[in-house]
Amino acid sequence: TPVVTTVLAAVRTLDRFCTSDRAGAAIVSAAFQDVGIISESNVLNVVDRNKIRLGRTKARTTVLSQVIKDYGHDQFGLYFDGRKDRTLSTEDNRRKVIIEEHISLVKEPWL
């Protein structure tokens, strides 16, 4: 359904900006209400925090399957531990601290 696809696209953006499930649900529901997908008579497409959480799981599974397809084997693990890394970046000759999600890709040494 198109609403599920829209939620998955929104979830990737919410993950990128470290937005909580509850805040993300409020943002997506407000956007749907502005567009007209949600109205007082049609509340079937309201997004709650559980839909956001399931969407994040589905998006991460999609990323994992893409990595498995790219590498051609499945003898490694991709871990999302929820940690945020503070990384020093240079933009326009200025140093700036950006926050990135910590993702670990682990592979056995003999495989």
Q: How far apart are CA 3 and CA 62, in angstroms?
A: 18
Number of domains in the chain: 2
Same domain, 40 and 89: no
Q: 0.95 cut: is pTM over it?
A: no
Which residue range forms the structural domain that includes residue 83? 76-102
Same domain, 60 and 33: yes
pLDDT value for 22? 94
Same domain, 16 and 57: yes
Same domain, 7 and 49: yes
- Rg value, the chain, Cα: 18
pLDDT value for 40? 86
How does pLDDT run along the chain (111 residues), one tens digit per residue?
566 667 788 888 888 888 899 999 999 999 988 988 888 888 888 888 998 999 888 888 888 788 777 766 656 677 777 788 888 989 888 999 988 888 777 776 654
| 48, 65 contact by CB (below 8 A) | no
Same domain, 60 and 87: no
Side chain identity, residue 4: V
pLDDT value for 111? 45
The encoded tokens of residue 71 equal 């590498």
